[in-house]
Structure 1
Amino acid sequence: MPEAYIILLIGFGVLVLMTAWLPMVLSEAPLSLPISCVAIGAAIFALPLNVSVPHPADNLPIVERLTELAVIISLMGAALKIDRKIGWRSWMVTWRLLAIAMPLTILALAWLGHLMLGLGVATALVLAAALAPTDPVLASDVQVGPPRSGEEDETRFALTSEAGLNDGLAFPFIMCAIAIAEAGRTGEPWLLRWFSIEVVWRLTAGVGVGALLGYGLGWLVFRMPNRAKLSRTGDGFVALGITVAVYGIAEAMHGYGFLAVFAAGLALRAAERNHKYHQTLHDFSEQLERLLMMTLLVLFGGAIASGGLLDALSWNSLAYALLAIFIVRPLAGWLSLAGTVCPPTERAVISFFGIRGLGSIYYLSYALQKEAFDKVDVVWSTVALIILISIVLHGMTVTPVMRLIDHRQRRGTAAKEAKTLRRQRRKRDA
């Protein structure tokens, strides 16, 4: 029997090869890459090999750091591929999803968690806030295409920009739950301190640090004299350096690092919007993100098969999960987009694809290290079930749904062009 290190090397090599080849194999299949990774992990660790993946609750610091890295890499990649300039009107769908859909989702999920799962106020809020953001890692199939590719319709743009921003905006709600739990233990007032620090300061610091560093690094990369211009290196791993440096500086300034990374990516793109080097940076981020995602989802499948991750499930947990996926997020998204120019079909797709994933695991592992919460096993199992359902449901529906959206948009474009051509002919004949 080979030693554990050799088995680990073989497994890592196979995983890297799968990272490169599986997306091509699955491009026309009804199965997505995340579904395959979870299935592979569950199958491997269900075998009698005397190895298992422990429950995430037994390794909270490791789980937090691994998922944190995957999320920030994904956030940088998402920001780099957005072609649209940031603005009030051009990003209106995004602002509505953040300002209306997200708070409504958190409020509804927290109420249902208290009512259906018997959770305390703080625990119900942690569960709701962890589940509210659209995951930037697993939502890559519904996001815009690479930089300057032209694959940026309203649906893909809305889901990309929402996933980029709401992972950071969920943090004040997580910190609110921690503050409530701490106040329940100490009896000290918490509201003013929470609002001034966790909402005002950390949001401002996150966006500010990210934008300043992004523009500054953009000048270094694109604006320096030609002989020293850093974009000439062509090295994609610069994206990793920018990501972790911005995240670390923002966290050191007590800002929200997730927001800082996304803001830095947008600012870096704005520094020289059409430069081909953005493609290189994006491609590296995407490849690294895919490797991290596959690794973590294989472990997620292993935790389900051998770590007892779903052991605390009940019928109430199943009902909660179905309501969260099929009712709460779609309804909140639909209501938030009322009155916009977004067509009903696209409005429904944006509302439906509120994908849950690694970001939820990060928030949960983060919060559970800060304070004591009740029924933690129920919370873990419920979150894992919702992520599993989301991976399977959204993974199987994303290809046909996005093809439908693309077909409708091509048909609408063709109709507009034909109408314009008829108008020009009438003017010419007159």
Structure 2
Amino acid sequence: MDINLILALFAGVILLLSLASSVLQRISLPGPVLALASGVLLGPAALGIIRIEDFGLPAGDLLEQTARVTLAVGLAGVALRLPHGYWRRSRRWVISVIALGMVAMFAVATGILWALLGVPFLVALTLGAVITPTDPVVTTPIVTGSLAKEKVPAGVRYDISSESGLNDGLGYLFVLLPVLLLTSPATAARELLTTVLLREVLGAALFGAVLGFVLGKLFVLAKDRGLMEESSYLGFLVPFSLLVLGAGKLLGTDAVLAVFVAAAVFGQVIPQQDENEEDSIEDAVNRFFLLPIFILLGLALPWEEWSALGLGVPVVLLAAVLLRRAVALALLRPFLRRIHDVPQTVFLGWFGPVGVSALFYATLAERMTGNQDIFIYSTLAITLSVIVHGISTAPFSAWLHRREAARSS
């Protein structure tokens, strides 16, 4: 396959989606939905112009590494959207939705999958862990852009962003639990505590915090002394993400979590006015880096394996995706009464899409366990979530806006 054809097709799709991004978002056809559909159209399921094998790498490796890089850039963008003082003011939300919410989502998803999907418990546990985190990439149309700023209160957008960033990194801990039980049951508990929790997760948080603080101070120093031609995140966002991602992995940490923590600390160190000035540039960078993974996923969807699953499997997977979030937020309602009213809680309970983070963890789990069913079920759950959450963005945002307007009138 000619590399120029691949470049032209991918860039052409991104260009067309960017030209009409505002209109498409307002009619509930956000970028991830159409990028996924474009991959299906270009791939062997439709026109057959390009296949995932044409990239010259094993499909699993290509998807895992592309999802990893996409996730890093997306997480940095998410963290940098949060205003100064957010983490101190929102500690009730953060603690509730991470410490309790992730456990509840994990338990609900696993229970539904084990009871109704007919797979072994450890496979259900792995799938439940894969779809537990709220995806920061698929939530982008909900928290950024003209529609989101017009219809969705800032507090709701910030809380979705912070949660999706943190639980994506911490999802590694949940995924490694069943993976270790499948691959090395005799030493799973020890490895989970010493290697995964202490070194990879806590090490990532410490490394990310230190590096984010240092880079933030360097950014401010360079700007104040006139060393930078312009104080733009454009020259910082991508290399910042990839530096932390690569260095974090070399140190043996959960590099995805390290990226988010580093960007969160960086965003609190740099001046707030610079952050506000660069929102449009940051969103443009994110669109350029986030959409290609959905085109790739569209090329790689296992249609033949899906057709053998039967009609009940998509229903079960969609139920697991939707109910794990709704049930968790309902259980957390007593903790959230002072933060969000009922309409906002319903909105937050609906918008817990899975996407790039689930793809990353699915390919990681498949590689470590050798179980292809994890990829088959996970990609179907991702596809269903991207479509359902994508097409519901505009109407659900409009519903919340009407409820907020009625309450304030």
TM-score (norm 1): 0.84
For 1:215-239, what per-residue CA distance to the aligned partner results, in whole angstroms no more than 9, with x for missing partners? 1111111135733444735361321
Tell me: CA distance 1:129–1:16, structure 2 relative to 1, closer, same or farther (3 Å).
same
Q: Is the Cα–Cα contact under 8 Å of residues 351 and 389 in structure 2 kept in the other structure?
A: yes
Query: Which amino acid in 2 is paired with 1:66?
Result: T
- How many angstroms does 1:337 deviate by? 2.9
* Structure 2 equivalent of residue 329 of structure 1: 325
Q: Is the Cα–Cα contact under 8 Å of residues 53 and 307 in structure 1 kept in the other structure?
A: no
**Secondary structure of the equivalent of 2:139?**
helix
Tell me: CA distance 1:157–1:167, structure 2 relative to 1, closer, same or farther (3 Å).
same
- How many angstroms does 1:212 deviate by? 1.0
| Separation in 1, partners of 2:75, 2:229 | 21
Q: Is the Cα–Cα contact under 8 Å of residues 135 and 168 in structure 2 kept in the other structure?
A: yes
- How many angstroms does 1:113 deviate by? 2.8
* Structure 1 equivalent of residue 286 of structure 2: 289
- How many angstroms does 1:395 deviate by? 1.4
* Structure 2 equivalent of residue 363 of structure 1: 361
Alignment RMSD (CA, Å): 2.9
| Separation in 2, partners of 1:389, 1:215 | 39
**Secondary structure of the equivalent of 1:355?**
coil
State which drifts further: 76-85 or 37-46: 37-46
- How many angstroms does 1:242 deviate by? 1.0
* Structure 1 equivalent of residue 18 of structure 2: 20
Tell me: CA distance 1:10–1:95, structure 2 relative to 1, closer, same or farther (3 Å).
same
Query: Which amino acid in 2 is paired with 1:181?
Result: L
| Separation in 1, partners of 2:369, 2:65 | 18
Match of 1:303 among 280, 296, 300: 300
Query: Which amino acid in 1 is paired with 2:360?
Result: Y
* Structure 2 equivalent of residue 380 of structure 1: 375
Tell me: CA distance 1:309–1:286, structure 2 relative to 1, closer, same or farther (3 Å).
farther
Give the 5 Å matches for 1:124-273.
124-143=124-143, 153-184=154-185, 188-224=186-222, 226-230=224-228, 232=230, 234=232, 236-273=234-271
Tell me: CA distance 1:61–1:44, structure 2 relative to 1, closer, same or farther (3 Å).
closer
Q: Is the Cα–Cα contact under 8 Å of residues 78 and 165 in structure 2 kept in the other structure?
A: yes
Q: Is the Cα–Cα contact under 8 Å of residues 131 and 358 in structure 2 kept in the other structure?
A: yes
| Separation in 1, partners of 2:271, 2:407 | 28
TM-score (norm 2): 0.88
**Secondary structure of the equivalent of 2:202?**
helix
Give the 5 Å matches for 1:76-95.
76-87=76-87, 90-95=90-95
| Separation in 1, partners of 2:144, 2:292 | 24
Query: Which amino acid in 2 is paired with 1:358?
Result: V
* Structure 2 equivalent of residue 52 of structure 1: 51
Q: How many residues align?
A: 402
| Separation in 2, partners of 1:114, 1:54 | 33
Q: Is the Cα–Cα contact under 8 Å of residues 233 and 282 in structure 2 kept in the other structure?
A: no
Tell me: CA distance 1:13–1:111, structure 2 relative to 1, closer, same or farther (3 Å).
closer
Tell me: CA distance 1:232–1:53, structure 2 relative to 1, closer, same or farther (3 Å).
closer
Query: Which amino acid in 2 is paired with 1:172?
Result: L
Tell me: CA distance 1:201–1:8, structure 2 relative to 1, closer, same or farther (3 Å).
closer
Tell me: CA distance 1:328–1:192, structure 2 relative to 1, closer, same or farther (3 Å).
same
* Structure 2 equivalent of residue 419 of structure 1: none
* Structure 1 equivalent of residue 391 of structure 2: 396
Match of 1:320 among 311, 316, 320: 316
**Secondary structure of the equivalent of 1:359?**
helix
State which drifts further: 70-79 or 253-262: 253-262
**Secondary structure of the equivalent of 1:325?**
helix
- How many angstroms does 1:21 deviate by? 0.8
For 1:299-326, what per-residue CA distance to the aligned partner results, in whole angstroms no more than 9, with x for missing partners? 322333x764624423442232132133
For 1:67-90, what per-residue CA distance to the aligned partner results, in whole angstroms no more than 9, with x for missing partners? 111111000000001115244552
| Separation in 2, partners of 1:292, 1:344 | 35
State which drifts further: 385-394 or 344-353: 385-394
| Separation in 2, partners of 1:383, 1:143 | 24
Q: Which has the larger radius of gyration?
A: 1
| Separation in 2, partners of 1:322, 1:20 | 29
**Secondary structure of the equivalent of 1:369?**
helix
| Separation in 2, partners of 1:370, 1:206 | 21
State which drifts further: 162-171 or 288-297: 288-297
**Secondary structure of the equivalent of 1:78?**
helix
| Separation in 1, partners of 2:276, 2:305 | 39
| Separation in 2, partners of 1:333, 1:248 | 34
- How many angstroms does 1:24 deviate by? 2.9
Query: Which amino acid in 2 is paired with 1:136?
Result: P
Tell me: CA distance 1:181–1:401, structure 2 relative to 1, closer, same or farther (3 Å).
same
Percent same amino acid among aligned pairs?
A: 20
